[in-house]
Amino acid sequence: MERSYYNPIEVAPREDLRILQLGKLRKILNKVYKKVPHYREKCKKAKIKPSNLKTLEDIRHFPFTTKEDLFVDYPFGLLAEPLEKVVRLHTSSGTTGKPKALFFSKRDIFAQAHLIARSLYMSGATFRDILQNSMTYGLFTGALVMHYGAELLGMLVIPAGPGNTERQIELMQTFGTTCIHMTPSYALYVASVIHEKGLKPGKDLKLKRAYLGAEPYTDETRQKIEEMLGVDVYNCYGLSEMGGPGVGFECPEKKGLHLWEDAFLVEIVNPQTGEPVKPGEVGELVLTSLNREAMPLIRYRTRDLTHFIPEPCSCGRTHVRIARILGRADDMFIVRGVNIFPQQIEAVLMSIKGVAQNYQILLEGYDEMTVKVEIDRDFFDGRIERLLKLKEEIAEKLRQAIQVRPKVELVEPGTLPVSEGKAKRVIDNRTL
């Protein structure tokens, strides 16, 4: 019998987990207070010090760390160890704003690799699997951190990097790739190319699992990719500030992501007030790294929106679950007074037959919204009324979902820009 957990900590009683967390939190708070002048100053202003922490709940009296804090005394300001202890630099991909510098010690590298190995094992992967890693190698954490973790588990890793889709498919065929790691938007594109080539995933390819993350996507997109590629899709969440991927991962139940609480203290707060939300209520994810040596961050505001899934998971793991990221606080846009996330639009589009994998949201003039949608090659049979009907269906379903009726423009497949990394979905040219 194969053991079902990579590490017994995954099923530790919650009370034990909390005791472990409190111990680690005390240590890390003391360390940051002592070694990081910027954080110490913030604590002093808030009139609080590490010895005030008696219970885990007391963390809410400590100051947050924000993305802006990462630019104070840039780049070394938040280091809690001498530079000699640092073995690696990553920067965030800078989807929003300028790049942040994040530092890892040797211990940090391997601690995160173990979280990845644990997460991959949870999905059923073993040393027999072959992982094609199609995230961007380099300054970005996405590829390298996954790479180390997969190797630790013993998988054979193909460091493909993103792009050159023909070559990606060739690699899959030649080496019998069983698992892929990429962004969901790129996975949709790769799936469409595989489909166009007439390859049958179950027969011509050996794919079993896709680890998709680095950007928000919906359950509808997941289903579409699962059908097109004949794989199980696992949602994989992380951010460079918390060590990269491996922070949260879906278990085979696929009902939310487990966040590894032996490594992170998890809070969800109201983004306006900073106060904790009620269980199940949507708010901003706030994380404290409990294990980080070089650059621990206390109460880091991720800007990612989600909610707790309070029920215990039937997989037996006790670590808290969150819903898939609903969006970034920074991605929200407002049209005619309505707050909209690109994912709301994606969920509608991916559930409509005839819609292909790519779309774009264009904002112009005084709040004019156009949604450009690629249609399936098989869908258009020459009958214009079929297209008009599809257009109407999309506009109406979007109106129901977001309260705003956008203009819909149908375009041929392959005409919207393809992203190999994180997709840029919203183009805002408004004259407001």
Binding-site ranges for ligand ADP (CB under 6 A): 92-96, 140-141, 213-216, 235-240, 302, 304, 325, 328
* Burial class of residue 207, CB neighbours in 10 A (0-12, 13-18, 19+): buried
CB of 122 to Zn ion, least distance (A): 8
Which position has the token pair 């060590």?
A: 243
CB of 97 to ligand ADP, least distance (A): 8
In sign, the C-alpha dihedral spanning 185, 188, 194, 198 is negative
Task: Compare residues 138 and 316 and give the one whose CB is closer to ligand ADP.
Answer: 138
Name residue, tokens 């951190």: 145
Return the one option of ligand ADP, K ion, Zn ion, none that residue 387 interacts with (CB less than 5 to 8 A, by type).
Answer: none
Q: Dihedral through CA 387, CA 391, CA 394, CA 395, nearest 10? A: -170
Q: Which is nearer to ligand ADP, 304 or 390 (CB)?
A: 304
DSSP state of 276: B
Q: Which does 201 bind (CB under 5 to 8 A by kind): K ion, ligand ADP, Zn ion, none?
A: none
Q: Which pair of structure tokens corresponds to residue 146?
A: 């996954």
Taking CB under 5 A as the criterion, the residue among 315, 340, 356, 373 binding Zn ion is 315
Q: Strands 308-309 and 300-306, how do they pair?
A: unpaired
CB of 154 to K ion, least distance (A): 5
Q: Hey, which residues between 248 and 277 contact Zn ion (CB under 5 A)?
A: 251, 253
Report whether 250 contacts 219 (CB < 8 A). no
**Contacted entry of Zn ion, K ion, ligand ADP, none for residue 74, CB cut-off 5 to 8 Å set by kind:** none
Per rule CB under 5 A, is residue 127 in the interface with K ion?
yes
Indicate the residue among 93 and 318 with the shorter CB distance to Zn ion: 318
Please identify, using beta-carbon distances, which residue of 181 and 292 lies nearer to K ion.
181
Residue 156 binding K ion, by CB under 5 A: yes
What is the C-alpha separation between 158 and 160, in angstroms, rounded?
A: 6
For K ion, which stretch binds (CB under 5 A), given 38-46, 120-128, 244-252, 258-266?
Answer: 120-128
Helices marked H in 36-100: 37-45
Q: Per-residue b/e over 127-144, b at no fewer than 16 CB within 10 Å?
A: eebbbbbbbbeebbbbbb
Closest approach of Cβ 114 to Zn ion, in Å?
18
Which C-beta is closer to ligand ADP: that of 35 or that of 424?
424
Residue 156 interacts, among Zn ion, K ion, ligand ADP, none and using kind-specific CB cut-offs from 5 to 8 Å, with K ion
Question: Is residue 317 within the footprint of Zn ion (CB under 5 A)?
Answer: yes
Please, which residue, 195 or 307, has the CB nearer to ligand ADP? 307
Stretch that binds K ion, among 109-117, 127-135, 136-144, 251-259 (CB under 5 A): 127-135
Number of residues this chain uses to bind K ion (CB under 5 A): 3
Asked if residues 258 and 218 have their Cβ atoms less than 8 Å apart, the reply is no
The entry of Zn ion, K ion, ligand ADP, none that residue 92 binds, CB within 5 to 8 Å by partner kind: ligand ADP
| Shortest distance in whole angstroms from residue 322 CB to ligand ADP | 10
Task: Point out which residues pair with 140 in neighbouring strands.
Answer: none
CA dihedral 423, 429, 430, 432 (to 10 degrees): 100
- How far is 56 from 53, CA to CA, in rounded Å? 7
Q: Are the C-beta atoms of residues 136 and 190 closer than 8 Å to each other?
A: no
Q: Which residue's CB is nearer to ligand ADP, number 285 or number 348?
A: 285
Residue partners of 6: CB distance under 8 A and separation at least 6: 117, 118, 121, 122
338 membership: H or E segment, kind and range: strand 338-340
**Pairwise CA distance, residues 425 & 286, whole Å:** 25
Residues within the interface to K ion (CB under 5 A): 127, 154, 156
Binding site for Zn ion (CB under 5 A): 251, 253, 313, 315, 317
